Amino acid sequence: MIEKVDVKSLNLKELEEFLLSLGEKKFRAKQIYEWMHIHHVTSFDEMTNLSKNLRETLKEKADLTVLEEELVQISKIDGTRKYLFALADGNMIESVLMKYKHGNSVCVSSQVGCRMGCRFCASTLDGLVRNLTPSEILEQIYRIQESIGERISNVVVMGSGEPMDNYDNIVKFIELLTDEHGLHISQRNLTVSTCGLVPRMKQLADLKLQITLALSLHASSQEKRKELMPVANSYELSEVLDACRYYFDKTGRRITFEYSLVGGVNDTDEDAERLVKLVSGMNCHINLIPVNPFKEGSFKLALKTGCPIIPIAMTNTPKIYEAQAPLLKKTHVVLHYGKPILPNELDADTKKHIGVYTKCVIEQMLEENEQYLETP
């Protein structure tokens, strides 16, 4: 069986070459490109300025990637939408739409699952299933834009998966997303996260793109970072920070550090002093995310009964009252319901520290929540 060409993952030049290989004129490529990346059609039959013979040939030789919307959850508070999309092979991925005064922002996934093993992230529980193609990453944006009938202006690659572990497809996705013949989103309106894959961070820097790089830091020392993130066993914290400096030197773009504050774990005066020294002299933004304290004893009932634990993360609630007490103020609050944690499916070591594990899951959720808040 001949493998079909994923035409939505091709840039315009590659699409021109594909059309020429079919014996077609070069200009047909631009017509098809616009149907896919501007009009976001879901079938070749909708490409009405193509001949019927060409449309039939495309059906035979090419694959037009289209995601199926399985479920949408809409917040009654601020209209935030969480989408569940089905891929052609039956796998599922999630995306999130955040609506702001300055435009619509979408958080997309880059992989089905993840192999990084970060203890706070639910997407890594089943390991890596596969990488998403450039077209599958794009399609999350296209389907959401068609769903709401409004343009998407900002994109965050911070959903399921480690973007730098799908490097080639992420770079191609960026090329297609920012192409003037397509959706043409500014590179400055695109943020890509990473847990710290140093070689890929430097490789990305060498491209000299104008995207924002966000590093999940979460600790001010190598030892503490190892406890949360297995990637720290491969790359020393000093190496990761050097890669961040390299990225800034090559691109001139400020680095964002995500740092979740866990009571008694990484929020001491010593941690603060180390953090200041770590980033001293760097052009960066540190996003501090408070995490409420947990006690292991609180989870004994769940361990005994196998009852699912539902992680919930709320962000920005102090602005309702605490920030201007005794007055109440209307504000944007993010309420995030996470994937249920099933105690019976956890390994023995994780069960022993289920409180820490749950805390880390919520820590990651709080980090994601920050992306949904409107920047002042």
Share of residues in the chain with pLDDT > 90 (%): 60
Q: How are the residues of the chain apportioned to helix, strand and coil, as percentages rounded to the nearest 5?
A: 45, 20, 35
255-300 pLDDT per residue, tens = 999 887 766 778 888 888 999 999 989 999 988 876 555 555 567 6
Distance CA 146, CA 83 (A): 13
Confidence band, pLDDT 50/70/90 cuts, at residue 375? very low
Share of residues in the chain with pLDDT > 70 (%): 90
Select from 58, 62, 26 the least CA-distant residue to 45.
58
279 vs 303, higher pLDDT: 279
178-216 pLDDT per residue, tens = 999 999 999 999 999 999 999 999 999 999 999 999 999
Predicted local distance difference test score (pLDDT) of residue 350 = 76
What's the whole-model pTM score? 0.78
The average pLDDT across 308-321 equals: 78
Predicted local distance difference test score (pLDDT) of residue 62 = 97
| CATH 1.10.150.530 residue window(s) in the chain | 5-63
Say which CATH architecture domain 68-291 belongs to: Alpha-Beta Barrel (3.20)
Is the confidence at residue 325, as pLDDT, over 90? no
The average pLDDT across 356-375 equals: 75
156-180 pLDDT per residue, tens = 999 899 999 999 999 999 999 999 9
Q: What is the CA radius of gyration of the chain?
A: 22
| CATH 3.20.20.70 residue window(s) in the chain | 68-291
Distance CA 10, CA 319 (A): 46
What does pLDDT average to over the chain? 89
Predicted local distance difference test score (pLDDT) of residue 363 = 77
Lowest mean pLDDT across 205-209, 221-225, 316-320: 316-320
How far, in Å, are 28, 159, 163, 210, 335 from residue 171 at the CA level? 25, 16, 10, 12, 32
Is the confidence at residue 120, as pLDDT, over 70? no
How far, in Å, are 63, 158, 256 from residue 177 at the CA level? 19, 16, 22
Do residues 221 and 236 make contact, with C-beta atoms less than 8 angstroms apart?
Answer: no
Predicted local distance difference test score (pLDDT) of residue 321 = 54
Reading the block at residue 224, the tokens are 């503490």
Reading the block at residue 359, the tokens are 């805390």
Select from 65, 283, 315, 305 the least CA-distant residue to 173.
65
Count of CA atoms in the C-beta half-sphere (13 A) of 57: 13
Predicted local distance difference test score (pLDDT) of residue 365 = 84
Distance CA 319, CA 325 (A): 9
Helix, coil or strand: residue 167: helix
Phi, psi torsion values for 5, nearest 5 degrees: -85, 130
Do residues 338 and 312 make contact, with C-beta atoms less than 8 angstroms apart?
Answer: yes
Say which CATH architecture domain 5-63 belongs to: Orthogonal Bundle (1.10)
Predicted local distance difference test score (pLDDT) of residue 374 = 54
234-262 pLDDT per residue, tens = 999 999 999 999 999 999 999 999 887 76
Could you tell me if residue 91 is left (phi over 0), alpha (psi between -120 and 50 degrees) or otherwise beta? Answer: beta
Predicted local distance difference test score (pLDDT) of residue 245 = 96
